[in-house]
Protein backbone atom coordinates (compact mmCIF):
# COMPACT_ATOMS: atom_id res chain seq x y z
CA UNK A 1 0.00 0.00 0.00
CA UNK A 2 2.90 2.36 0.60
CA UNK A 3 3.95 2.22 -3.06
CA UNK A 4 0.40 3.00 -4.16
CA UNK A 5 0.20 5.93 -1.76
CA UNK A 6 3.40 7.39 -3.25
CA UNK A 7 2.15 6.84 -6.79
CA UNK A 8 -1.21 8.52 -6.10
CA UNK A 9 0.39 11.44 -4.30
CA UNK A 10 0.94 13.25 -7.64
CA UNK A 11 -2.74 13.04 -8.66
CA UNK A 12 -5.73 15.14 -7.62
CA UNK A 13 -8.72 13.20 -6.27
CA UNK A 14 -11.02 15.81 -7.84
CA UNK A 15 -9.95 14.67 -11.32
CA UNK A 16 -11.78 11.69 -12.86
CA UNK A 17 -8.90 9.21 -13.11
CA UNK A 18 -8.64 5.45 -12.76
CA UNK A 19 -5.84 2.92 -12.78
CA UNK A 20 -5.83 -0.74 -13.62
CA UNK A 21 -4.22 -3.21 -16.00
CA UNK A 22 -4.98 -2.33 -19.63
CA UNK A 23 -5.70 -5.35 -21.84
CA UNK A 24 -6.07 -5.38 -25.63
CA UNK A 25 -6.66 -8.97 -26.74
CA UNK A 26 -10.32 -8.60 -27.80
CA UNK A 27 -10.92 -4.92 -28.55
CA UNK A 28 -8.60 -2.45 -30.27
CA UNK A 29 -9.06 0.41 -27.79
CA UNK A 30 -8.40 -1.93 -24.87
CA UNK A 31 -10.19 -2.34 -21.59
CA UNK A 32 -9.25 -2.34 -17.94
CA UNK A 33 -8.93 -5.70 -16.23
CA UNK A 34 -9.70 -6.01 -12.56
CA UNK A 35 -7.43 -8.97 -11.89
CA UNK A 36 -5.13 -6.90 -9.74
CA UNK A 37 -7.87 -4.45 -8.82
CA UNK A 38 -8.85 -0.93 -9.78
CA UNK A 39 -8.06 2.44 -8.28
CA UNK A 40 -10.74 5.09 -8.80
CA UNK A 41 -10.54 8.73 -7.76
CA UNK A 42 -13.38 10.27 -5.74
CA UNK A 43 -14.62 12.11 -8.84
CA UNK A 44 -14.61 8.87 -10.88
CA UNK A 45 -16.74 7.11 -8.27
CA UNK A 46 -19.08 10.11 -8.04
CA UNK A 47 -19.61 10.15 -11.82
CA UNK A 48 -20.04 6.37 -11.99
CA UNK A 49 -22.70 6.40 -9.27
CA UNK A 50 -24.50 9.42 -10.78
CA UNK A 51 -24.70 7.84 -14.24
CA UNK A 52 -25.72 4.49 -12.74
CA UNK A 53 -28.60 6.07 -10.82
CA UNK A 54 -29.80 7.89 -13.95
CA UNK A 55 -29.66 4.68 -16.02
CA UNK A 56 -31.45 2.65 -13.34
CA UNK A 57 -34.24 5.25 -13.21
CA UNK A 58 -34.59 5.16 -17.01
CA UNK A 59 -34.74 1.34 -17.00
CA UNK A 60 -37.34 1.30 -14.22
CA UNK A 61 -39.46 3.88 -16.07
CA UNK A 62 -39.34 1.85 -19.29
CA UNK A 63 -40.21 -1.34 -17.39
CA UNK A 64 -43.20 0.32 -15.67
CA UNK A 65 -44.49 1.70 -18.99
CA UNK A 66 -44.14 -1.72 -20.64
CA UNK A 67 -45.96 -3.47 -17.79
CA UNK A 68 -48.71 -0.83 -17.83
CA UNK A 69 -49.17 -1.25 -21.59
CA UNK A 70 -49.15 -5.05 -21.31
CA UNK A 71 -51.76 -5.04 -18.53
CA UNK A 72 -53.89 -2.55 -20.48
CA UNK A 73 -53.74 -4.77 -23.55
CA UNK A 74 -54.74 -7.86 -21.55
CA UNK A 75 -57.67 -5.97 -20.00
CA UNK A 76 -58.82 -4.77 -23.43
CA UNK A 77 -58.65 -8.30 -24.85
CA UNK A 78 -60.66 -9.92 -22.07
CA UNK A 79 -63.21 -7.17 -21.48
Predicted pLDDT of residue 53? 98
Predicted pLDDT of residue 2? 77
Residue spans of the domains in the chain: they are: 2-78
Predicted pLDDT of residue 34? 66
d(CA 54, CA 60): 10
pTM of the model: 0.66
d(CA 67, CA 79): 18
Q: Which residues contact 12 (CB under 8 A, 6 or more apart)?
A: 41
Q: Which residues of the chain have pLDDT under 70?
A: 1, 34
Predicted pLDDT of residue 18? 87
Amino acid sequence: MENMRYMLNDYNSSDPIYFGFRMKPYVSQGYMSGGGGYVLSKESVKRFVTVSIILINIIITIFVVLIYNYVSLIIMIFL
